Amino acid sequence: MDATREIIIIVDDDSTNLTVGKSTLSDKYDVFTASSGERLFSHLEKVYPDLILLDIRMPEMDGYEVIKRLKDSEKTIDIPVIFLTSRIDPASEIKGLSLGAVDYITKPFSRELLLKRIDLHVLFERQKKELQKHNLRLECEVDRKTRTVLELQNTVLKTVAELVECRDNVTGGHIERTQHYLRLLIDFMLEHEVYYEEISSWDVGLLVMSSQLHDVGKISIKDNILMKPGRLTDEEFQEMKRHTAYGVDIIRRIEENTSESAFLYYARILAGSHHERWDGNGYPNGLSGSDIPLQGRLMAIIDVYDALTNDRPYKKAFTHEQAVDIIKEGMGTQFDPAVCKVFLTHENSFRHIEIQENMHAEAHDELRSAMEVIANAVGARSGKEQGYVERMRMYLNLIVNASLRHMSFKEVVSEWDIELFLLSAQMHDVGNIAVADHILNKPEELSDREFDDIINHVDFGVKIIRQIKENIKDGGLLHHAEMLVGSHHEKWDGTGYPRGLKGKKIPLQGRIMAIVDVYDALTTARPHRGGKTHNEAVEIIKNGAGTQFDPELIDVFLECESDFEKVAASCPLDDR
């Protein structure tokens, strides 16, 4: 077969038509023939044609059934199909075109007409592929330039934020912590679908990045006020309040002097509105209720929480519980009640976190030990061997690092504590501990009732994680674990469980885990079946793009799937 020539498959139950068609086209194309729809699909397992010539009237499976199967498969949906038919009535032609055929050629056909029509469609497909390649090159160039712009934006934000940080020994840690808290609060808002449509329209990564400048106006406050250890006088407090207006003015001046000023939009909103109050008694503009930008209403809660739970020149830190009580008292007066309710629902996730290079180091060690013990115990009950935990960790590490090369995921994933995410992933099936052994290890197909018990392992898992969070000092360490446990069985098309979430409403942690979990399940033996090969597993996962899995994440997976195979090979199983 000549790799430079297009491939055509002719499908017809009439051997004469196959012979004539092949002899007509073989000088210019590589031609395969199939005497039935089933034989066509056998060919498609080995070759991917540039065009299919398909007879309509065939026994067992007619041309209409064949094209429906072709168009229902992600693998073959884009193959152009021309119908060969002796029917000349408009209804038959309309039916074929509505099913996805690109043309009709009536039989008996002349050699010259057949060749001309084929040449025309092959040329069109060739030009379409060249256009797709050109568009892909343009997209890559746009992605490269976008990354450059984002890096420039982040550099500007960090540089200005560091200038503020230099003014005192408080603001730097405050900036880092509030970024972390803002991301958490936004995730929880989306989970509860509070202001969902508005938040979904934001560039959340850019918003979190821009939050570094919410206190930029403090750079204009005099040291004797900014660092005063005692209570401020009324005059000094009025000056301190001006830091919001100063911040807006500083950001506007930066906007005027850069052509890439759109990224400062969120920064200006946050700087100017995070001290407004729901009841209208805030500053600088005395806005009230929903007139306060939602970004500012979110920032108001986390800004106050962090200020309360950390030392300031004028006060000692309050406990987490005291801070939560104060915020609760401010619901409906200082804070948006809907946002406040979400914060209070997940208040354990916002316990004070020290931001430093060895962040969570001791907690990680304790958490690692606890998670590994629990994960291995759950795995053993599910018939999974000791190496399962480490294998899953390696798979996840591959796909997470690959996702950092994609603009769609880079902003979100780059803000994760990757080590904590990998630790948390060990807990994704913790709910299996509540499922009976005879169901977990049943070699036959499960009954509907038994399958309901399996489905319930997700809810059990979420309850377990939440109970653990209530009994440890830093519940925020289990944020990823809760997301993973609750969402890794959701499907992109909304047919998963337990909540039937759809598309990007499924947390990214769960979308990633879904792919890794299915890959490992397919390639290892289970009580009810043997393991599949790497290539078989990859093909099944590819076919699930857009239905079971996030299609963009499938692209990420396919970039590193060969490394998945190496991991699987390095962890051999007796029953693989």
* Token code pair at residue 565: 């195979």
pLDDT value at 358 more than 50: no
pLDDT value at 387 more than 80: no
| Domain match, 24 and 117 both | yes
CATH code, domain with 121: 3.40.50.2300
Length of the chain: 576
The domain total for the chain is 3
SS3 label, residue 571 = coil
Q: Residue 356 falls within a domain, yes or no?
A: no
Residue appearing with tokens 């914060």: 343
Task: Please answer whether residues 415 and 208 qualify as being in contact, where contact means their C-beta atoms are separated by less than 8 angstroms.
Answer: yes
Span of 79-83, 171-175, 176-180, 556-560 with lowest mean pLDDT: 171-175
pLDDT value at 74 more than 90: no
CATH code, domain with 465: 1.10.3210.10
What number is the average pLDDT over the span 38-54?
A: 89
Residue 211 CB neighbour total at 10 angstroms: 28
**pLDDT tens by residue, 239-265:** 889 989 988 988 887 777 666 566 688
* Token code pair at residue 460: 């059990």
Q: Work out the percent of the chain whose per-residue pLDDT is above 90.
A: 30
Pick from 88, 91, 90: nearest CA to 108: 88
**Burial letters 547-569, b for 16+ CB under 10 A, else e:** ebbbebbbebbeebbebbbebbe
The Cα–Cα gap between 510 and 483 comes to 6
Q: If pLDDT is split at 50, 70 and 90, which confidence band does 529 have?
A: low
The Cα–Cα gap between 250 and 389 comes to 50
| Domain match, 331 and 208 both | yes
| Domain match, 366 and 496 both | yes
Q: Residue 398 falls within a domain, yes or no?
A: yes
**pLDDT tens by residue, 122-152:** 888 788 777 777 776 776 666 555 555 555 5
Q: Residue 159 falls within a domain, yes or no?
A: no
Q: If pLDDT is split at 50, 70 and 90, which confidence band does 214 have?
A: confident
| Domain match, 368 and 333 both | no
| Domain match, 437 and 485 both | yes
The DSSP H or E segment spanning 362 is helix 361-381
Q: Residue 97 falls within a domain, yes or no?
A: yes
Q: Work out the percent of the chain whose per-residue pLDDT is above 70.
A: 79
Task: Please answer whether residues 519 and 376 qualify as being in contact, where contact means their C-beta atoms are separated by less than 8 angstroms.
Answer: no
Q: Residue 161 falls within a domain, yes or no?
A: no
| Domain match, 436 and 525 both | yes
Q: Residue 148 falls within a domain, yes or no?
A: no
More confident residue, 502 or 470: 502
| Domain match, 104 and 25 both | yes
**Cβ-based neighbours of 540, under 8 Å, separated by 6 or more:** 518, 522, 532
Q: Residue 150 falls within a domain, yes or no?
A: no
| Domain match, 346 and 367 both | no
What number is the average pLDDT over the span 207-211?
A: 86
Domain end among 135, 158, 180: 135
Residue 313: what pLDDT?
Answer: 67
pLDDT value at 397 more than 60: yes
Q: Which domain holds residue 365?
A: 361-570
Residue 302: what pLDDT?
Answer: 93
**Residues β-bridged to residue 30:** 7
* Token code pair at residue 245: 């207006």
SS3 label, residue 53 = strand
Task: Please answer whether residues 460 and 431 qualify as being in contact, where contact means their C-beta atoms are separated by less than 8 angstroms.
Answer: yes
If you ran DSSP here, which 8-state letter would residue 546 be given?
T
| Domain match, 337 and 381 both | no
Angle at 29 between CA 24 and CA 32, to 5 degrees: 80
Domain end among 118, 135, 152: 135
| Domain match, 329 and 368 both | no
Left, alpha or beta for 409 (phi > 0: left; psi -120 to 50: alpha)?
A: alpha
The Cα–Cα gap between 104 and 112 comes to 15
Domain end among 350, 382, 397: 350
pLDDT value at 346 more than 50: yes
| Domain match, 305 and 402 both | no
Average pLDDT, rounded, for the chain: 81
Sheet of 30-34: strand order equals 30-34, 7-11, 51-55, 81-85, 103-106
Task: Please answer whether residues 300 and 335 qualify as being in contact, where contact means their C-beta atoms are separated by less than 8 angstroms.
Answer: yes
| Domain match, 291 and 416 both | no
Q: Residue 338 falls within a domain, yes or no?
A: yes
CA distances from 166 to 223, 229, 230, 483 (A): 11, 18, 21, 37
**Cβ-based neighbours of 69, under 8 Å, separated by 6 or more:** 37, 41, 76
CA atoms within 13 A on the CB side of 271: 28
Residue 359: what pLDDT?
Answer: 44
pTM for this entry: 0.43
* Token code pair at residue 478: 């289990």
- The amino acid that residue 299 corresponds to is M
